[in-house]
Structure formats: structure tokens, C-alpha cells
Amino acid sequence: MGKVNLEDNDTKEKKTEFSLVRVKDTWKCKRGKKVTADNVSAAKIYESITENSTSWTVVSPIVFTYKVTETRDLLDPSNQTLLLGHINDPQQLEDMKKSNKQIRRFLVVDQEVYKFYGPKLTEYLEANKVLYKILALPTTEENKSMTMALKILEEVNNFSLDRRTEPIIAIGGGVCLDIVGLAASLYRRRTPYIRVPTTLLSYIDASVGAKTGVNFANCKNKLGAYIPPAAAFLDLSFIQTVPRRQISNGLAEMLKMALMKHRGLFELLETHGRMLLDTKFQADNRVHGRNCMQVASQATRIAIVTMLEELAPNLWEDDLNRLVDFGHLISPALEMKVLPSLLHGEAVNIDMSYMVYVSKERGLLTEEEKHRIINCMVGLELPVWHEAFTMELIQKSLQDRLKHSGGLVRMPLPVALGKAEISNDTSCEILHRAYVKWCDELSVSSDSNSDS
């Protein structure tokens, strides 16, 4: 680019593009677009000079690399994944294995998870001669606050953690992973952290993305940051100790990806959803045999890959047209309104259920497709209606959506099984007509289910 003079009637502007070249221990600006050197940064500085001002525009690409690894027996002392699996550089990994320096780790564990896995986790750390601190906390939606994040930070600071080589490890459900991720992003401006999900929902959702956060001002995740973990380590064996309702809760997010992107996953959940609930995604040789693990592995893999397809190109949500927002337009307000009676996936499913009716009223889904989706939801033991999901809540949530989404509602809607589009022109009349039919058809069955 070099020097360019732009001139109009009133202003003479001189623009210069600089590349940044490392010379020994410092960086130097070098004029011109095509700069050849051994150590050139991807960053650029653009200088603009007019008679009245000088400005510099900095373009600095930020690249995040993180692993999502499915493994088995994560807490087996011979499995080094939890301690070293985040290291990408082979030489650094080799040096770590040869080093006599003691490994140090700070771990935050949901207290309910700790009741099940505390002894095994302690045994793992001690067998590997790790100097460790375990902080077991009640990481529930009601406690998802800056107070909890600051409590973690106090303990991290007392541990004198080295942010370069000692990633914080979070073990728990989505709330735990979100809070610890935010705390890590704040400590010394960004400390690496590792996610170990222990619920199905966090396994396929929170663990694979970049978002961290806590609730604030009675709004879900109003404080947060886009800082992905150094790694996420996924072990399905953790799922065997969660209640059946939590399995169903996670299946809602899996169904979301199926409806948006993958008909095969929908049909898998439609056919085998009850088996996955019964077996908790574990091998069950008594009834289902090897087929269970094959289905479980296939379902989680498709859910993770489809989620990563949507998240990886848009980690910072620069593009506000996001299919993964399906089920998340009204559900955040619903979830906070009735806290703690609905789990996250349950609130999401109620939102999705209503949106299926919106799609049907718009002519995007057939009556048969609508029934198949609702029947699948019921089969997965998910709620499909809630009395607090009112027309007033819908209108307020969509108004808030307009405010924070560039003036467009950006409503993901299924247009077939496994296909979706973003809609910006759904009328109030359609929303209301869909709501009336949704209530007429599903409120009675939902009431009878809650009574049984």
C-alpha cells in the first residue's frame, strides 16, 4: 500500500500502512504492504494524517487454539490427559514429562460431583505426585454470580498460580464451567483453564464453546467473556452418576442441533432416545448390548461436530445470525422467571416447542413434521409447555432481542427435519396464532403429565 494521498475539496489525507517486524527484542514499523523478514507479525498499523488530526488504526488478528478431546477413564492414574492433554507443542510436552519439577494444579469441582468423584480425583492427583488445591463449590444457577467468581479468584490468588504453565481445571456441569471460565479470564487478564463436563448438557454444549459468564441484574449470563478453554476433556463415564432428569435436560441441546442441522441425529433420538435415557449413555450388556454405546457415541459425536461447525467460525458472535440460538430467544427469561423449577435444557425445549408451532403457522413445517418433533420431545421426557411462557413474555423477549441483535429478531426456525433458516419477518399475528394453537394442543397434556 505504501503512501497514498487522498484529496478532496476540503481535506488532504495521507494514509500509510505499516507492517510490524521483530528486530532482536523489539518491534519496528516497516512501511509498505509487502514486507519480507523472518519475523513479521500478522498485525498491521494504519496511520492517517490530515491537517487537523493523526489517527492510528490497529488490526491485530487474535487466534485461539483449543482442543476438545473425548477420552475414557480420565481419572485413571495412568491417563495423563487431565494433566498434560492441553499441551499442543510436542517438544514442550516432552520437556514436561522429563522435568523433575512438580506439577501444580488448582481445581474447582461442583460439590455434588465431588461427593461422587472426590476420592477418585484425590487418588489420581496423589498418584501423579501433583501439588493441588481442590475447591468444591455449590455451582448452581442460583449461585451463578460474581460473588462466586470472586471467591474462586481469592483461592486462586492464595494458591500463587503460575498462569503460564498451570491451567485452572473446572470439573462439573455448565454452571461450574461458565463461572470458572470467567474467573480464569479475569485472573491476570487471562489464565488458561480446562473444562471437564460431568453432565450431558455441558458435555455437548458448554464444554465445546468459548462463552463464559455469570448472572447479573436478574438476567442470565449478563456478565461474561468470550475466552475458550485451553482444552475440554470429555468422558462419558461421568454421565452415569447424574439423575435421569439431567440426561433428559442434555438431550434438549442435542435435539436442538438435530432440528437445526442433522436429520440423521433427529431420527436417532426419535428411535433410540428412550434407550439413551435408560442407559445414561453407558454400555448395558443386559438389555441393549453393544448397540447402546454405538448409538451414544454416534449421538454425542454428531452433536459436538455440528456445534463446533457453528461456533468455530463465529466464536465472538460477530455474525448475529446463529442457528445455535434456536430455543434461546424466550428461554433465558423463562428460566430466570421460574428459577429454580426449570433446568436450562427444559426451558430451551419449551422455547423450541413453541417455535415449532411458529414454523408450522408460517408454512415451513408440515403437520406431520410438527407432530414428530413434539412426540420426540415427549419421548425424551422433556416439557413442551409451561404456564409462565406467556404471550407477554414472548413479546418482551423479542423486543430485547431486537435491541441486542442489530435491530433484527434473527429467529432460527426449522424448515424441515434437520434444516433451518433465520427469519426476520415473522408477524405478530403468526406469533399469536401459533401461541393459541400451542396452548390449545399442549397445555392439557403438560398439565396431566405434571399431575401424574
* Positions marked active-site: 211
- Measured distance CA(218)–CA(287) in Å, rounded: 46
SS3 of the chain: CCEEEEECCCCEEEEEEEEEEEECCEEEEEECCCCCCCCEEEEEEEEEECCCCEEEEEECCCCCCCEEEECCCCCCCCCCHHHHCCCCCHHHHHHHHHCCCCCEEEEEEEHHHHHHHHHHHHHHHHHCCCEEEEEEECCCHHHCCHHHHHHHHHHHHHCCCCCCCCCEEEEECHHHHHHHHHHHHHHHHCCCEEEEECCHHHHHCHHHCCEEEEEECCEEEEEEEECCCCEEEECHHHHHHCCHHHHHHHHHHHHHHHHHHCHHHHHHHHHHHHHHHHHCCCCECCCCEHHHHHHHHHHHHHHHHHHHHHHHHHCCCCCCCCHHHCCCCCHHHHHHHCCCCCCHHHHHHHHHHHHHHHHHHCCCCCHHHHHHHHHHHHHCCCCCCCCCCCHHHHHHHHHHHHHHCCCCCCEEEEEECCEEEEECCCCHHHHHHHHHHHHHHHHHHHHHHHHC
Pairing of strands 168-172, 104-110: parallel
Give strand pairing partners of 23: 26
Residues 6+ apart with CB under 8 A from 53: none
- Measured distance CA(178)–CA(172) in Å, rounded: 10
Q: Determine contact, residues 86/194, Cβ cutoff 8 Å.
A: yes
Give strand pairing partners of 172: 197
Half-sphere exposure of 440 (CA within 13 A, CB side): 7
Alpha carbon distances (Å) from 389 to 347, 373, 377: 9, 19, 17
Q: Which residue has the cell 488530526?
A: 53
Phi, psi of 221 (to 5 degrees): 55, 40
